[in-house]
Structure 1
Amino acid sequence: MKNKNANKGKHLTLEDRHNIEDALSQKFTLKAIADRLEKDPTTISKEIRRNRITSRRNSTTDIIGCEKRRECTMKNICSKSCHHLCKKCPTLNCLKICPNYSPITCQTLLRFPHVCNGCARINGCRSEKQYYRAKVADANYQDLLKSSREGIDIMPHELSKLDDLISPLVLKGQSLAHIFANHHDEIPCSERTLYNYFDQNILTARNIDLPRKVKYKPRKKAPDQAKRAQPHRLGRTYDDFKAFIELNPETSVVEMDTVYGRKSGKVLLTFFFRKCSLMIAFLMESCTQECVKTAIDRIYDELGTDVFRNSFPVILTDNGSEFKSPESIEYDAKGLERTKVFYCDPMSSYQKPHIEKNHEYIRYILPKGRTFKTLTQEKVTLAMNHINSAARASLNGTTPFKLAQLLLDASLLEKLSLIEIPADEVHLKPALLK
């Protein structure tokens, strides 16, 4: 036995509509059709009335009669030479120009079945004829289903208010994650919906203004190559790094790298603290081992022995020529160990992914190919302050600076002139340094 509620809440199918059309032709009652399809009678009635179509009238003589025909006394409408009453006109042409014409409405259309399907008086009827056709009804349903999912579910005044909030911040270089983290109470939709709005070009800002709206190329797997023994890597390989961290799981890791402007010019020495995502950068005159040593000595002298050791216990870097003097990084001028240096495998920058990814923020402010000739350490620090004040989705909407306040030595932030920028003042465009 079929469950009467099996089809409850389900949409009518094309097969259901063919059944309705057949049942109307056979003069089934409304309840009989509803029972046949296991639907509520109201559903069937609404379906018929919503999708009925008016038949086309090709013949000029096939004119709908007038409701006032019996009591009509008008004449001479079509011409002054015509002396017949309009209601006795054999052609009914006067109905086309009569100002009092009111077409006859069949009472069958006002109650069930609401259409002329199966009507026995169809041939002699001069009323407007309407029919239910399953294919037409299903096409109307599909169009409605499609159109109901188009557009956006937001009122015009709400969209205008949202645009006034979002677009100026995006044009300043802020990411949607940063904006949503600081204005989620004012935004009437999810972060994913905001990206959809950008895809539909309904805001002043566009996809091209979003700093990370790009497609990433699939990573190519480097071919296996015999690793050459290099003196600077002895005891400092990536396998050695993993073994050290396994024995000392609480040890903080700092990733180190360099960012180039133009070749043979100034470069940035960058550090990324994994546990809080804070990034700091220092300007070097050139990309050499001596400049790296000078920069780290300067940081060491600025922070002091204890703060430096606590903040930089382990440094993970790549195999760049500027880093191939590990002793000058690991030991101070007195020969005391201040940190440990480990190297990623050759051609394996993905082993220090955090700093590689975070360099994107530097490129928002200092695009590739731009010279660092006019940069000063003050400008570099300003850029880092704005970058570290940008909220990250990976940090649940908080900023690296706020986490650094909790997880790093407070004197590190103070001595390196790192300060938090208010959320709405974060600027990640080249204009920041102009």
Structure 2
Amino acid sequence: MRKTLFVLLVSSFAAVSLQAQTIINRDADIEKMVKSVHQDSLKSYISKMVAFGTRSTLSDIKSKTKGIGAARNWVVGKFNQFAKQSNGRLIAYLDTTTFKPDGKRVDQSTLLGNAVAVLKGSDTNDKRVYVVSGHLDSRVTDVMNRTSDAPGANDDGSGVAGVIEAARIMSQYQFSATIIFVAVSGEEQSLLGSGFMADKAKKEGWNVDAMLNNDMIGSNNSSETQIIDNTRLRVFSEGLPAYELDKNAKAIRQFGLENDGKSRQLARYVKETGERYVDQLEVKLIYRNDRFLRGGDHTPFVENGFTAVRITEMNENFEHQHQDLRTEKGVRYGDLQEFMDFEYLRKNTAVNIAVLANLAKAPSAPSEVKIDVKNLSNSSYLYWKAPANGTAKGYYVLMRETSSPVWEKKFYTTATELKIPYSKDNYLFAVQSVGNGGNESLPVVPGIGR
């Protein structure tokens, strides 16, 4: 009798413990995509790009084997190869524009080309667009040197390889929203290709919900400090918005939202989603738009009002970045393939795929999200409307302390309102839609409601 009672008590305790566990749910399709990223594929892309000699934006565009022209045509060719498995969903092309000499980093009329592949969304009413980029051009010490070998294996062959691999894998699946894969040119000449694309997106009214810029995601070690680590990845995001800050500064200051711009919400999303699907990797949030006094291809997008972040390796090695190929005092300089970590590149590519797939499969964000301020209260009442696109089976109300960099609690509801016993004086909130498959939209910070 006592033994039976003991077994029942243990069984009951085990059941309660299991119910109390936090379960991380992974979408089966996204898991397959992540597992489909191959080091060998990434290495083959890098080897081919290095073989073009230099990929300087100012280099030869007529040769079929050398220079930026041959390189960008090869990328479009890879995209077209993947298009054959997409049932007509993937379309690839070279998007060109001519830049005139500017007296700075363009000294002759230059036909710039971005290699683009568009994976059309399955829902014709869903106008959301997600962009993932790397820059195809490379350089040596002198940014105007267009003839010397500039392998650009990591900067930014790694980012472009990640984009190509993402296109290869994701073109085999359907997504509600549209995904654009792009290898831009002109980054080293002052973000010309990304600026061209961001300006076009603004003029043509693209609904760019998020943009992921990948620049140097394949090296695991640093110069000077000699740190070797392939378990951490940085995500840079702007704090105060570059776009129309003057119109929004008063509200940002009044409500304490200096750390809650759209790009920073995207960075948190990259961290949560990336770590959910990619093992042995920690995503580090860096609270600035880019590295100190430096820039990347996401910048023209945030300057045009789009949500964008930079994804980059944790430790930079300046002996292998922007360097002429040479050996000095036993140190070999240059951005060569031999200095890369392809397991690290595999993991970082997988982060991009997981984030893009989760966003493109999810319904759009809830609309008209408000927090009630009618009465003084130690509870908080939030309400919103259903997303414009897709079906939401429910919503997460996210909460964190004002000093926390990441969301700390989630409250799930199937309604379009929720009252929780936490004061808006002490916490920050956001709401995101959850689709039938558990995929989440980007979070929306509430406005003022009465």
TM-score grouping bracket, smaller chain normalisation: under 0.3
TM-score for both structures, normalised by structure 1: 0.23
In proportion to residue count, which structure has more helix? Answer: 1
TM-score for both structures, normalised by structure 2: 0.23
In proportion to residue count, which structure has more strand? Answer: 2
With a CA cutoff of 8 Å and minimum separation of 6, indicate the structure with the bigger relative contact order.
Answer: 2
